[in-house]
Structure 1
């Protein structure tokens, strides 16, 4: 007599993407916990940085033991959770904040973003011989909002995972350098506290790094820096739309590739501008946003092999160094001239 196994399949077997998603979520939650520790706070390590490092360690240290069944869930975490995280990021900004920056602040942000992207793509290809995707990702991380910008651009251009990871690594390296360098430069730049906040917000890579730099100077600097930085974040939307248009034109597609999550981000900014969201709900949504982005970063780290990063060589690092110098020196000139 033949026996039929009537045992129910496990939840992980019945839902193919669940195991990979669960792994990324656990790493994302662990990264949030670690980033809240005194040690991580002292080094200004964000949850996104911790998450990608954890993913890299697991993905490379235990790659032979990770089942292939993880792949679908890790891919979903990188794609869909990332988009949701970018959308919720809009809760950090309102159009009132943008108006508070003033015409000079908006102009400085626009020039910084456009010039850094242009220089990054041009120098990356002409000086260092990088492919367009690597140059663009590295430039986007420096120009707009660090790792979040790299991941958002990745959703439009769809490069190899290793190129995304190296771009994020350059943001972490040079943004961390800013945390130590900028407060030391402050007494020698001839800028008052508010103008230094404008300079910090317009040139430092990550939002968390901006907060770390500006808070070391004082509350007036911190207030100005965060508003200018978040206004710079808003410029992610037109950049993604232009990239979508270029992809359609260069790829021979009839319709423009519209990054709908970027428009949804803009919609959340608009909502945040007209609706007074209770502080408790706002705090919970921002915590969820950080968790979603950390989960996406962890999934990216697990899927990235260090051998692919070594194949790219030191050239992306050299490009990031050039952009770091441009932001530090060129941004200062802009603030003195236009601020």
Structure 2
């Protein structure tokens, strides 16, 4: 593919991200939690569903949703320290593990009750339990699922993850007077929200402290993707894969890059000016990735998938909110 093939989609997402940044600086929107990340995604969804987008945008949009998003998550680590990571410790890792296991197990059980095929149950369950579209795309080659099933799963987790991204800050405003603080809200967001970028947006809508805890919790959850895929591959190899044939495993290397960035920030070797410049770049990368995610969300494709996959994604969203909230309350209390 020619390098300039990425340019149209990249420019479209970048311009939308810059416009969202300008809108987010308006006093009324800033006072009501209108972050640049949230506005970039919502703007992308609106534009994508007003009229069909040019097909030549797709390579650039994929670049934004994958490579630029991962680069942005790695750079986000420059805002955090190893002390913050260790402070969360094993308790948060246990919360993540329980949310993952309960959500995925529920997806397999509920999906079969709804009449869905096993591949769809696994893909929607992985996306809901771990890290949204990235988990779906990482799981697809392991179980050799069709592209159509993967697209439906991605649509479902993006839809309900976007709803959660808007809902969580509002819930915080209701629950804060009852004792929910920014730190606990951050852990709840990171352990139950679908996409990494959605976690950043929902955390920043409340405050930088909430965003820090949310991203740390989410990245611990993302790192659980590697053992999850290894276990899934072992199960699938016994059930479905031909004898002697190896199943490919996708390792989320960007999660380890995120930890490396935290270590670099903790060491103090970065000059203040360089660190500030990298953090400004990080905000732009994340907003561009969110704009691309919105531009690639088609409501017609979600409707065409039928009610069963959407119902499963909706039920898992409800479990993440209520069941995941219960797990957080029990272990954080």
Q: Which bin holds the TM-score, normalised by the shorter protein?
A: 0.7 to 0.9
TM-score, normalised to structure 2's length?
A: 0.75
Unaligned runs of 5+ in 2: 115-119, 141-146, 194-198
Compared CA separation, residues 97 and 14, structure 1 to 2 (3 A): closer
Identify the match of residue 50 of structure 1 among 30, 39, 45.
Answer: 39
Compared CA separation, residues 51 and 283, structure 1 to 2 (3 A): same
User: Aligned equivalents of 2:177 and 2:165: distance in 1?
Assistant: 20
User: Aligned equivalents of 1:184 and 1:109: distance in 2?
Assistant: 24
The CA deviation string for residues 93-143 of structure 1, in whole angstroms up to 9 with x for no partner, is 2212223x2xxx423211211111112112223124462222222223xxx
Identify the match of residue 322 of structure 1 among 283, 302, 319.
Answer: 319
- Aligned-pair CA distance for 1:235: 0.5
The CA deviation string for residues 225-271 of structure 1, in whole angstroms up to 9 with x for no partner, is 55543431340452232245356654753664333322222221221
8 Å CA contact retained: 2:38, 2:201:
no
Aligned equivalent of 1:22? 11
User: Aligned equivalents of 1:274 and 1:201: distance in 2?
Assistant: 24
| Structure 1 moving runs of 4+ over 6 Å | none
User: Is 1:71 the equivalent of 2:68?
Assistant: no
Compared CA separation, residues 209 and 303, structure 1 to 2 (3 A): closer
**Correspondences of 1:1-339 after superposition (within 5 Å):** 15-63=4-52, 66-99=53-86, 101=87, 105-128=88-111, 129=114, 131-140=121-130, 149-150=131-132, 152-154=134-136, 156-157=138-139, 160-161=150-151, 163-186=153-176, 188=178, 196-204=181-189, 205=193, 206-210=199-203, 212-213=205-206, 225=210, 228-246=213-231, 249=234, 250=236, 252-253=245-246, 256-310=249-303, 311=305, 312-336=309-333
- SS of match in other structure, 1:253: coil
TM-score, normalised to structure 1's length?
A: 0.74
User: Aligned equivalents of 1:110 and 1:184: distance in 2?
Assistant: 27
Unaligned runs of 5+ in 1: 1-12, 141-148, 216-221
